[in-house]
Structure 1
């Protein structure tokens, strides 16, 4: 499942990151860590690709205003809509940090992309992020005029955001709406057991202590992880969820959990396209065109092509 060695561009990215001392994220001041993360994201997302328009707004969430950023493609609508959830272990990350990714996805897919700034742990543990994610999908489904939407709807996310995209797909299927036509899961945080082969890759991007900190901050206990709305791999029945694209990375602790979830979807009769980028690392696609990893754009274009196929859009 992994190539003989990490791709040279991914290794160069790791080498650049390695100039900073690597120690557990949990040992850093969280407020300072988020500030540093925002500054790094600003540099990473400078000079982003143009889209038709962007709009920062708030929508009604379960705990007050919920910030979202709307990206509209060039041309005349209406367009299909993709609701996107960023990664960051449920503790870090923001719509600003994935601005470049969402812009590229908008351009490549000709879809309106709605990026959601859901509440973060540990201040807001499970199920806060799920509640925000589902509220955002309901809002997108009910806001066709505001979004210039044609009513077709997909969800997407990377890492923790991939978990949320899978969870809201499950919730929508069980609650009979809103109708989600497709889900794109990029190295999703699902199906982790602590015993999968890929979990030996801790330390390449994330330390084992980092993963444990994320788990404790968001889930709180192993008992929560048995809840299918915390980890959809635990769901008894996945047969009603939307068709999916699942992308994993060879040198990623989350790889085998994502693969196992794709296999469960297939067993439930859900159409799935699964691809493992065997020479890539966790997080490789989050900043296409800025992190020096060409395969980041390849992943964005794959997701966009799959969305286009699902929605019957011309290439």
Structure 2
């Protein structure tokens, strides 16, 4: 398994011109740095039919969301994807994942509701999970108002957002609603064990680092229970009855093994699951489409799976 040449070029450039690590900055500066990375390395100017910023009720106040309508929307109710951004539950927002949400809306022919859940350390676990679940319940309850089909709801997210999508799927199953048809998990956090082979092999030098993940866990969890399925969905007592899944991992990602383990566990529990590992890629590549050809292809493939699942 070799590192993709474009990924190697980016990592070499970063090593030659080292910037402060996000975990070494004050949180607000880390958030600003992440916005800058997204603005520089993701594609820009993705057309969209319409966007609407609004707030919805949450368990501790209003939750900002952004609703995307694809270019070719038509007049019928559309399937809907509820999207949770990555960033370790600490950084990331509606802007860092705007281009990706636009692409999913257009490529999959669905509306996208992006959720700006509460961030740590200001709001620790389980604030992000609670907001995310509340958002999916709101989408189902208000489907007619926002022009979506309540029987065709999918959830998705990358990294910490993939964790939230997996967690919400479990919460919805256990609560017997909302009915989620599909979960798209992009290099998701599914466990809190940072001593897997992929963590050891990719501990430093591949964009996301093991120390960085521990920093995110410390900010989000504090002294919380690291075995709680709402932070480690791989530790759930059962994965049976969960929505069909599409799980993406990257070969040079510390999270690779837990993503694969979750896909394997879903399959073992009888959940129709497709696992795609991009062997030469690094963590975060879905937001690096301006730099990586593979990333553009991967987003199209994921959107195709989403479209087929919600057809």
The equivalent residue for 1:101 is 100
Tell me which residue corresponds to 2:269: 268
| Number of corresponding residues | 306
* Residue number in structure 1 paired with 2:229: 228
Q: Distance in 1 between matches of 2:32 and 2:283?
A: 22
State the 1:45 CA deviation.
Answer: 5.6
Identify the residue that residue 131 of structure 2 maps to in structure 1: 132
* Secondary structure of the corresponding residue to residue 11 of structure 1: helix
Q: Distance in 2 between matches of 1:15 and 1:117?
A: 33
Deviates more, 1:167-176 or 1:19-28: 19-28
Distance 1:217 1:256 in 2: 23
Alpha carbons 2:42, 2:287 under 8 Å: kept: no
Match 2:215 to one of 213, 216, 219: 213
TM-score (norm 2): 0.94
Distance 2:295 2:43 in 1: 17
* Match runs of 1:19-168 below 5 Å: 19-21=16-18, 24-44=21-41, 47-73=44-70, 74-76=72-74, 77-151=76-150, 152-168=152-168
Return the offset for 1:109: 0.2
Which deviates more from structure 2 when the two are superposed, residues 106-115 or residues 295-304?
295-304
CA distance in 2, matches of 1:309, 1:299: 15
Give 1:44 shift: 4.5
Structure 1 residue runs of 5 or longer lacking an equivalent are none
Shift of 1:43: 4.1
Distance (whole Å) between structure 1 residues aligned to residue 276 and residue 44 of structure 2: 30
Give the Cα separation in 2 of the matches to 1:187 and 1:138: 24
CA 1:287/1:95 → structure 2, altered by over 3 Å: closer, same or farther? farther
Given that 2:249 and 2:276 are in contact with CA atoms closer than 8 Å, whether structure 1 keeps it comes out as yes
- Helix, strand or coil at the partner of 1:224: coil
> In the aligned structure 1, how far is the partner of 2:12 from the partner of 2:105?
30
Structure 2: gaps spanning 5 or more residues: none
Verify the 8 A CA contact 1:72 1:111 in the aligned structure 2: yes
CA distance in 1, matches of 2:35, 2:53: 17
Q: Does 1:254 align with 2:255?
A: yes
Give me the CA root mean square deviation.
1.6
Specify the SS of the correspondent of 1:169. helix
> Which residue matches 2:10?
13
State TM-score, norm by structure 1.
Answer: 0.93
- Residues 111, 94 of structure 1: CA spacing in aligned structure 2 closer, same or farther, 3 A cutoff? same
The answer to whether the 8 Å contact 1:192/1:254 transfers is no
The answer to whether the Cα contact below 8 Å between 1:174 and 1:240 also exists between their aligned partners in 2 is no
Contact 1:285 1:297 in 2 (8 A): yes
Partner Cα separation in structure 2 for residue 47 and residue 301 of structure 1: 16
Report the equivalent of 1:198.
198
User: Which deviates the most, 181-190 or 300-309?
Assistant: 300-309
1:250 deviates by: 0.2
